[in-house]
């Protein structure tokens, strides 16, 4: 079955510290992978995406993610967190192999930032 797991429901980091949000997926075909961010009261905004090629992808707001096929993971990273990064983050997987081509979303990780 296709699924996305974000093991951490809530993470708190200090401003200026590094960040890694975990995402593991199960998908029967070549996956397309996405990270979205949702600020309070807002819709979801695309941070970055991976379709093929270089497994380290750069996104907006200084975020990057690395696709590791052998670990079925697509973790999101940022070297130095800013207070404005406090939000909820969603990982998603899609592709032509199933789920009618629709994206499958994880349940999200809420990020809090300490001053």
Partner 1 sequence: NAGVTQTPKFRVLKTGQSMTLLCAQDMNHEYMYWYRQDPGMGLRLIHYSVGEGTTAKGEVPDGYNVSRLKKQNFLLGLESAAPSQTSVYFCASSLQGPYEQYFGPGTRLTVT
Q: Which helix (H) or strand (E) is 12 found in, with range?
A: strand 10-14
* 32 belongs to the binding site for partner 1 (CB under 8 A): yes
- Site for partner 1 (CB under 8 A): how many residues? 23
115 in helix, strand or coil? coil
Rounded to a whole number of angstroms, the minimum distance from the CB of residue 93 to partner 1 is 9
On whether the CB atoms of residues 73 and 7 are closer than 8 A, the answer is: no
Question: Residue 10 or residue 82: which is nearer to partner 1 going by CB?
Answer: 10
Minimal CA–CA distance to 64: which of 81, 52, 79?
79
Task: Pick out residues in 77-106 that bind partner 1 (CB under 8 A).
Answer: 90, 94-96, 100-103, 105-106
* 45 belongs to the binding site for partner 1 (CB under 8 A): yes
Pairing of strands 44-50, 24-26: unpaired
The encoded tokens of residue 5 equal 């797991």
Provide the binding-site residues for partner 1, judged by CB under 8 A: 9, 32, 34, 36, 41-46, 49, 90, 94-96, 100-103, 105-108
């Amino acid at each position: 079955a296709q699924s996305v797991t974000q093991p951490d429901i809530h993470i708190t980091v200090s401003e200026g510290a590094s960040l890694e949000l975990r995402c593991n997926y199960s998908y029967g075909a070549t996956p397309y992978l996405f990270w979205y961010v949702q600020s309070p009261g807002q819709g979801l905004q695309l941070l970055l995406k991976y379709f093929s090629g270089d497994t380290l992808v750069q996104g907006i707001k200084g975020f990057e993610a690395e696709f590791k096929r052998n670990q079925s993971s697509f973790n999101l990273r940022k070297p130095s967190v800013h207070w404005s990064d406090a939000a909820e983050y969603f990982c998603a997987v899609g592709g032509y192999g199933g789920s009618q081509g629709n994206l499958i979303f994880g349940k999200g990780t809420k990020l809090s930032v300490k001053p």
